[in-house]
Amino acid sequence: MASPAHTSLALILALAGAVLAGSPATAAAQAADIPVTLYADAGYPPYSYDKQGKPAGLYYEIVSTAVKRMHGYKVEIQPVPWKRGMSLLKSGSGFALYPPYHNTHDEPWTWPYSLPLYEEKVIAICRKDVLAAKARKRWPEDFYGLTIGNNAGFIVGGESFEAAIRDGHLKVEEARDVATNLLKLGMRRIDCYINDRIAIQWTLKQLKAEGRYDEGHSHAELAEALVIATEQGFLGYTERDNGRYSYKTDFVKQFDSIIYQMKRSGEIDTIARNFFKTH
């Protein structure tokens, strides 16, 4: 027969085990290898794009590094066209998508957002003849009467830009990705294009290297007009899942904790520096 001391110790250990088993952290650990699909913009190089059917880009480097350190999940990252990714969040059939900007007004189905992953500068790039015709210093007033290119589903021009579209002061044409918009700009089908500066510079360099953009010959010369805004990219989750993803709270908490550590240690800056150096 066990002594009272041994019995008490056994009881305490049993109770402690029961408490731990019921804790969220332990429950998450026990639910090991929950399959989770994160969606990624397939047409936003160099930040996020489809490379031979697989996700690529700076945001992929950051997100994939983070999810490998999470406990209890087997994460797949799948590139999709941006509008489809947003549709998945809106319907609740997609768990999360990167990299939306923080915009609960136009995209109320996206919540919560992760900690910011990286900072971007949104610019307007135009044909040089468009910039020579008139000073373009105020956004969007100095661009009234022009046709502005935009990636399908992107909301990057700001509220005054959206109001100018509604009031008929300017027109917008959407295309599926950065490359298509730049080619349209070079062929004079649009006057300016709005997107992140690095995404534009990187893609234009690629197009020229591939012989698809011949500035000054078959395509127009381009120049940056002005910076429209500074934005941050996030991992955005669906708010329309109605409890479908029971692990959502734990996933959000783990992911943010790891991103915080990566930012605090300077690892994200290192990832970005190495990525742009090699791409």
Q: What is the pLDDT of residues 10-68, one digit of tens each?
A: 433 343 344 444 444 444 445 478 999 999 999 999 999 999 999 999 999 999 999 99
**Token couple for 95:** 């768990």
Specify the pLDDT at position 18. Answer: 41
Q: Quick one: 82 and 212 in the same domain?
A: no
**Position 93 in a domain:** yes
pLDDT digits (tens, 9 = 90+) for 153-181: 999 999 999 999 999 999 999 999 999 99
Q: Is residue 171 part of a domain?
A: yes
Do 201 and 240 share a structural domain?
A: no
Between CA 164 and CA 130 the distance in angstroms is: 19
Q: pLDDT tens digit string along 69-119?
A: 999 999 999 999 999 999 999 999 999 999 999 999 999 999 999 999 999
At 20 the pLDDT is: 40
Total structural domains in the chain? 2
Same domain assignment for residues 56 and 127: no
13 domain residue, yes or no = no
**Residue 240 domain boundaries:** 32-117+234-278
Q: Would you give the end-to-end CA distance of the chain in angstroms?
A: 71
Q: Is residue 256 part of a domain?
A: yes
| Residue 1 confidence (pLDDT) above 70 | no
Q: Are residues 167 and 204 part of one domain? A: yes
CATH number at residue 130: 3.40.190.10
The answer to whether residue 56 is domain-embedded is yes
Give tens-digit pLDDT for 208-239.
999 999 987 889 999 999 999 999 999 999 99
- Kindly state whether residues 164 and 182 are assigned to the same domain: yes
Q: Are residues 221 and 250 in the same domain?
A: no
Given strand 73-80, what is the order of strands in its sheet?
A: 73-80, 34-41, 96-98, 236-238, 110-113
Name the one residue in this structure whose structure tokens are 């189905």.
Answer: 109
Asked whether residue 17 is domain-assigned, the answer is no
pTM of the model: 0.81
Same domain, yes or no: 83 and 42: yes
How many C-beta atoms surround the C-beta of residue 268 within 10 A?
A: 21
